[in-house]
Structure 1
Amino acid sequence: MSLQNDIIKTALLGTDKIQFQLPEELSDIKDGITTKQEDKEDAFLKSAAIAFIYEESGQEAKDSINTIPECPDDTREELSASTSQHLEDALLSKDEVFFEYLLTKTLEADKTVSSKLVPLLLNRAIEQKRKAEKLIAVCGKTGEWLCSLNPNWQRLTLKNEEQIDWETGSLEDRKLFLARLRTTDPDKALQLLQAVFEQENANNRAEFLEILEIGISVKDEAFLLEALKDKSKKVKEVALKLLQPLLGTEINNLYINYFLDAVSIREERSLLILKKKVIEIDPAVLPSDDLFRYGIEKVSSVKGVDDQLFWLSQILSFIDPSALAERYQISQDEWFKLSIEHKQISVFIPYLAAAAIRFRNKPLAKNLLAHEEAFREELLLILSEYERYEWYDKYLESRFPIILGLLLNDHYSIIPQQLAERVVKRLAVNPYVITQPIYTRLALSLPVGIKSFLSKYIEEGADDYQKRYFSNQASNMLRYIELREGLTF
């Protein structure tokens, strides 16, 4: 063992600082190496090779018993041979878009890949950790079996803290593990983070803290309040960001109570007979210093907006709209109507949008989307896929890149024919607005009925560079639509 240690020491420190020496009994060989050496490194490498052979010589061979378990049978069906071939071709040709599509559809069909493909996919899982879970899933029992035999693949199947070395694991591995644990057992994840938090550097502490957003609850308040005292500004910012909208906590209650004290809803006469509700703000109600200590900016940064309205607007983004409407005993639609009827509507809109997104409030999101100035992509993500189509139609022209990105979802939903034709027409006018991979991705979501519509673009524009470019893209999209049609899972 001492020879091995000397070799390692020389390799680490370099041959200029230390020179590995063979034992005396190998002096003849040592002299021969010294005589013929090209340089110190050459002598070291040759001496190290001789030393390893010398240590192993004369030892009795160790008994070896084959204990490799048999690969269990898979209960799931295997992917069809033709589609399996497409998957292999896409993998080897680096057609990432089509490969991802085939992988997703294989999972949806609850099929496994052929054993021939399993090693390739496990290697891909090592390279692309974000896709590892999907890749392992399609490998079935064969994948699990191979992972148990190969140390390089074994870490792909780690599922609990006993199987991960927190001290030596990479940051990404630990974050992934903590996120999974937070999903399955939030309390246990919190306990783990509490135990290791002080040992981590500031950047790590901030990144681990962000993971607490998964399954966050009032149970996390005490730990987050402690994190507010951290030396790192970044850590304190993350802790405050998590605490501000957390219903039932000291900070959120502070926000709500000030808002309710300062803002009331009263009735006023309209046209002498009619009564209508209006928002009234009491300028005499001032907040405590804690309000500003917990993240509310003290001086208005919006031109023409006084400090108090600026405070209330900020607070509005941290209060669940449904909880606020309930406190005022009105509907959410009515609360929104009163908010936008306020004389300084432009101040409220972005904060109402932030609240709708933060609390995934569907009624508020729909109300906001009806106003062009309130549009935000995240508002659409609150709605179901079916509910979004109304807004896709409304905003396709003015927000084309955003709408196209949402249409190309992870489920590969087929775009309705009429909307698909509008997308193709828009791209024909400006074909450079998206890249080649996006054209391929679009093809995998286009309806079969659009083939004849695409064909018109393939046949035109031989003398026009832009039209010729789109003609090539249309041809490529048509090829992928037909490829998709021929697949069986």
Structure 2
Amino acid sequence: MKAALLGTGRFTPENQQDDLPIIARIGALGSDREDRFLKTAFTALLYEEAGAKPSKIDHTLPGCPPETRQPAGDKITGLIHASLKDRNEVLFRYYLFRLVKSGKVLQSWLVPMVLNKALNSGKDRLQLLDACGQAGQWLCRLNPKWSTTPATAKGDENIWETGTLEERKTYLTSLRKTDPEGAIALLENTLAEENAGNRLIFVQLLSEGLSLRDEPFLQKLTSDKSQKVKETAFDLLKQIPGSALNHAYLEALTRVLEVREEKHLLITKKKVLTIRGDMPLDDGLFKTGIERVSREKGVEDYVYHAAQLMAWVDPVVLANALGTTEQQLITFLLGQKAAGTLMPFLVRAAVRFRNKAWCFALLHREEATDIRLLDALEESERQAFYGRFLNNNLTGLLTYLFDDNYTPLPLKLAGDIIDYLIRFPYNVTQAVYHRLALHLPVAAFAKLQAVINDPRQDYQTRYFKTQASEMMRIKELIQQID
């Protein structure tokens, strides 16, 4: 309706150039209203196309400090720029790794693009800022959009009061590593002011570096208004060796589990483990997260209680309390009729306390599928178990093997992975193929080239050939850096 009324007495739009003499002269013309409107509109359009006079600035910008590190070479700079334009996150992260490893910084013309990326990054924001060098620090002080970026990098304590949630998480995580007691003191003074979601996030960050010094603070949180915060506090208390709750779990297990000798073939004696049903748990333990009723059909409640308790007690401590060894204990437990019910809880204990004897025993059981069981083993010992995860959970295996240093995979394992992908090429994403290329040993690329030269043209083979060709291209890009 407004468009239809333009130029009439019913509607006249506001004109931003009303203070211009020429607009006043047009308004004073003796022509009709439509003519004056069209002349005014045309004049306003010309002014908009011509732009505006710049605002007067009465101060000078501070100069950029000289760079203390050498700028990156043209080759890696070009590769970083290409990965940013293509939004190839895998290659960008690798190129950044190589840049940081070389001790150089980005060329200044590329810094604004990387600073924009840092705004949307979480844990690696500091690394991105560091790669930008002095130019990055300088620009962050000038551009309000980037102004919050360096605060976390400097470890400014004000970030806890003024930063975003991600920045505060980064700050607390860093403080927890350098000053565990300081992190607890910070939360003691400020946690009550946070909403339930933030309280949960910050308490969860305390899982690294747990010690008895954290017990008083966590004990207070067991009465928090948020059920999830309470549950998290109980879970943290359970896994602190020597805490009151952890000790209560240990004592309960020593009553429920009994190792005794029995006659065997009327001649010899052997030790057996029994889960006793005549030693009920104290009611207070059920308030700490222990479920009263068994979830497993045909499994007695008291067995299910024992299984839950074992997930939180160090196998070495439990074995000593029962007068046996950790190896004997896991053998006893896996020999139980309810071993299937016990299994996930035994796995949690083995992973949580990195018990090598338990991890070894559980890795020989097909039901144990948690790849973190490998953490307790040496690298040479892990390789014997990679095959089972390759066939059952390749994505999980690759996620476990891919590290921040881009360590090459063992040649045999790399060959096995390629053989698997030839048969099941759709089981991983394109990004995983790209990341795999960065971890393949040089000798493994000959196998990829052989696949590319394969004359078969079925859909499955053609798809893998496409991925293999891209992996070969990535290898060539990497060689340009070298």
TM-score interval, normalised by the smaller of the two chains: 0.7 to 0.9
Does 1:195 find its partner at 2:189?
yes
Does 1:106 find its partner at 2:129?
no
- Counterpart CA distance in 2 for 1:62 and 1:73 is 27
* Residue in structure 1 matched with residue 125 of structure 2 by the alignment: 132
Give the letter aligned to residue 129 of structure 2: I
**C-alpha distance 179-451 of structure 1, shift in aligned 2 (>3 A):** closer
Q: Following TM superposition, by how much is the alpha carbon of 1:462 offset from its aligned partner in structure 2, in angstroms? A: 5.6
| Kept in 1: contact 2:241–2:247 (CA 8 A) | yes
Partner SS, residue 246 of structure 1:
coil
* Residue in structure 1 matched with residue 459 of structure 2 by the alignment: 465
Q: Which runs of 4+ in 1 moved over 6 A?
A: none
| Kept in 2: contact 1:461–1:468 (CA 8 A) | no
Q: Following TM superposition, by how much is the alpha carbon of 1:329 offset from its aligned partner in structure 2, in angstroms? A: 4.3
- Counterpart CA distance in 2 for 1:112 and 1:384 is 36
Select 1:80's aligned residue among 56, 73, 82: 73
- Counterpart CA distance in 1 for 2:481 and 2:293 is 61
| Kept in 1: contact 2:188–2:217 (CA 8 A) | yes
- Counterpart CA distance in 2 for 1:96 and 1:420 is 23
Unaligned runs of 5+ residues in structure 1 are 1-28, 39-52
| Kept in 2: contact 1:368–1:375 (CA 8 A) | no
| Kept in 2: contact 1:72–1:141 (CA 8 A) | yes
- Counterpart CA distance in 1 for 2:292 and 2:207 is 27
Select 1:155's aligned residue among 140, 144, 148: 148
**C-alpha distance 93-206 of structure 1, shift in aligned 2 (>3 A):** same
1:39-438 paired onto structure 2 within 5 Å: 64=59, 66=60, 68=62, 71-74=65-68, 76-158=69-151, 159-160=154-155, 162-164=157-159, 166=161, 168-438=162-432
* Residue in structure 2 matched with residue 50 of structure 1 by the alignment: none
Give the letter aligned to residue 111 of structure 1: K
Give the letter aligned to residue 419 of structure 2: K
Q: Following TM superposition, by how much is the alpha carbon of 1:101 offset from its aligned partner in structure 2, in angstroms? A: 1.1
**C-alpha distance 148-323 of structure 1, shift in aligned 2 (>3 A):** farther
Unaligned runs of 5+ residues in structure 2 are 1-23, 28-32, 38-51
- Counterpart CA distance in 1 for 2:457 and 2:387 is 33
Q: Following TM superposition, by how much is the alpha carbon of 1:442 offset from its aligned partner in structure 2, in angstroms? A: 1.3
Q: Following TM superposition, by how much is the alpha carbon of 1:241 offset from its aligned partner in structure 2, in angstroms? A: 1.9
**C-alpha distance 290-78 of structure 1, shift in aligned 2 (>3 A):** same
Give the letter aligned to residue 184 of structure 1: T
Give the letter aligned to residue 414 of structure 2: A
| Kept in 1: contact 2:231–2:288 (CA 8 A) | no
Q: Following TM superposition, by how much is the alpha carbon of 1:135 offset from its aligned partner in structure 2, in angstroms? A: 1.0
| Kept in 2: contact 1:461–1:471 (CA 8 A) | no
Give the letter aligned to residue 244 of structure 2: E
| Kept in 2: contact 1:182–1:212 (CA 8 A) | yes
- Counterpart CA distance in 1 for 2:381 and 2:61 is 57
TM-score of the pair, normalised by structure 1: 0.81
Partner SS, residue 278 of structure 1:
strand
Q: Following TM superposition, by how much is the alpha carbon of 1:148 offset from its aligned partner in structure 2, in angstroms? A: 4.1
Partner SS, residue 406 of structure 1:
helix
| Kept in 1: contact 2:122–2:166 (CA 8 A) | no
Give the letter aligned to residue 99 of structure 1: F
| Kept in 2: contact 1:300–1:306 (CA 8 A) | yes
- Counterpart CA distance in 2 for 1:212 and 1:435 is 33
Partner SS, residue 129 of structure 1:
coil
Superposed CA deviations along residues 186-236 of structure 1, whole A, max 9, x for unmatched, are 212212212222222222222222122232222222222222212222222
**C-alpha distance 201-238 of structure 1, shift in aligned 2 (>3 A):** same
- Counterpart CA distance in 1 for 2:384 and 2:420 is 18
Q: Following TM superposition, by how much is the alpha carbon of 1:92 offset from its aligned partner in structure 2, in angstroms? A: 2.1
Q: CA RMSD in A?
A: 3.1
- Counterpart CA distance in 1 for 2:336 and 2:378 is 30
Partner SS, residue 474 of structure 2:
helix
Partner SS, residue 239 of structure 2:
coil
Does 1:481 find its partner at 2:475?
yes
Select 2:447's aligned residue among 424, 436, 453: 453
* Residue in structure 1 matched with residue 9 of structure 2 by the alignment: none
Give the letter aligned to residue 94 of structure 1: R
Equivalenced residues, count: 440
**C-alpha distance 382-150 of structure 1, shift in aligned 2 (>3 A):** farther
**C-alpha distance 293-463 of structure 1, shift in aligned 2 (>3 A):** closer
- Counterpart CA distance in 2 for 1:287 and 1:379 is 29
Give the letter aligned to residue 111 of structure 2: V
| Kept in 2: contact 1:125–1:132 (CA 8 A) | yes
| Kept in 2: contact 1:126–1:156 (CA 8 A) | yes
| Kept in 1: contact 2:276–2:302 (CA 8 A) | no
- Counterpart CA distance in 2 for 1:121 and 1:136 is 8
**C-alpha distance 401-73 of structure 1, shift in aligned 2 (>3 A):** closer
**C-alpha distance 412-226 of structure 1, shift in aligned 2 (>3 A):** same
**C-alpha distance 472-304 of structure 1, shift in aligned 2 (>3 A):** same
| Kept in 1: contact 2:219–2:233 (CA 8 A) | yes
| Kept in 2: contact 1:446–1:481 (CA 8 A) | no
Partner SS, residue 108 of structure 2:
coil
- Counterpart CA distance in 1 for 2:82 and 2:157 is 38
Superposed CA deviations along residues 345-389 of structure 1, whole A, max 9, x for unmatched, are 222211110111222323322221111112212223444544422
* Residue in structure 2 matched with residue 20 of structure 1 by the alignment: none
- Counterpart CA distance in 1 for 2:134 and 2:323 is 56
**C-alpha distance 258-451 of structure 1, shift in aligned 2 (>3 A):** closer
Percent of matched pairs sharing the same residue:
37
